Copies of this chain bind each other. A is one copy, B any other.
Amino acid sequence: MKGAYRTRQQDELLDYLKQTPGAHYTAAQIREHFAHQEKSIGTATIYRQLERFVEDGTVRKYLLDTGDSACYEYVAQKELCASHFHCKCEKCGRLIHLECDELKQIQSHLLTAHGFAWNSGKTVFYGVCDQCRKQI
């Protein structure tokens, strides 16, 4: 059965992600973090736990580019999971977390008007950010 036991690794991993809501980490970054701690966590365990958290809705997973690894991010309030959106700047590569009520409304619009159940956690908006637009 799944999630039957609670382990040290499970707790430490989730605690780490909770520390900085909104921040995103790759599996490698997480492993690196715990490598410097008293007790490290095996790579396989990191992936297996993250997979559970994602399934559970506690953590969000998204892909940026091929070759890059997936990013994982703690979801502060599950019910508000769609509370922010990801914008990736094509110039500087920066990932922007955007709070936007207007975008939230789009989700229900896409569903009711177009029948499309949008997975906003997985979607990344590409474009050019404020700073980079000024430089051009």
Residues of B within 8 A of A13 (CB): none
Residues of B within 8 A of A41 (CB): none
Against B, the Cβ 8 Å flags (1 = close, 0 = not) of A103-136 are 1011001100111111100111111111001000
Residues of B within 8 A of A105 (CB): 102
Evaluate contact between B102 and A115: CB separation under 8 angstroms: no
Evaluate contact between A115 and B90: CB separation under 8 angstroms: no
**Given contacts A117-B133, A126-B122, A127-B123, A102 and B98 within 8 Å (CB-CB):** no
Which of A's residues lie within 8 Å of B, judged by CB?
61, 63, 65-66, 70, 87, 90, 96, 98, 100, 102-103, 105-106, 109-110, 113-119, 122-130, 133
